[in-house]
A and B are shown apart, each in its own frame.
Chain A
Amino acid sequence: MEIQALLDGGLDGSAARAARAHLATCAKCARRLEAQTRLFAEIESWEEAEPPHDLAPRVLAALRSPSTPIGLRWAAALQAGLVLLIVSLAWPLVTNLAQSLRLPSVWFPATSAIEAWLAETSALTAALEASLLALPDSAAAWLRLAPNWIAIWPAVVAGAALAAVVGNSILLSGNATSSRAARARRL
Chain B
Amino acid sequence: MDEASDRQLVVRTRGGEANAFGELVRRYQTSVYNVCYRLLGDPQEAEDLAQEAFLRAYRRLGSYDDQRPFGPWMRRVAANLCLNALQARKATLSFHEEFDEIPGDLSESPEPSGERKEEVERVRRALLRLPAHYRAVIELRHYQEMSYDEIAGALRIGPGDVRTRLFRARRMMADWLRQNG
Contact = CB atoms under 8 A, between A and B. Distances in A.
23 contacts: A1-B164, A4-B167, A10-B163, A39-B177, A43-B138, A43-B142, A44-B142, A45-B116, A45-B120, A46-B38, A47-B120, A49-B34, A49-B37, A49-B111, A51-B29, A52-B33, A55-B50, A56-B22, A57-B22, A59-B22, A59-B25, A59-B55, A60-B21
A187 interface: yes
B37 A60 contact: no
Interface string B8-32: 0000000011110110011001111
A183 B32 CA distance: 26
A122 B43 CA distance: 71
B173 interface: yes
B73 interface: no
Interface of A: 1, 4-5, 8-10, 35-36, 39-40, 42-52, 55-60, 62-64, 185-187
B70 interface: no
B32 to A, nearest CB: 8
For chain B, give the interface size range.
35 or more
Contacts of B62: none
A148 B125 CA distance: 78
**Looking at chain B's contact residues, is the secondary structure mostly helix, strand, loop, or mixed?**
helix
Contacts of A43: 123, 127, 138, 142, 170, 173
Contact of B174 (A39, A44, A55): A39
Given A45-B119, A47-B111, A56 B177 contact: no
B109 interface: yes
Contact of A186 (B16, B148, B166): B16
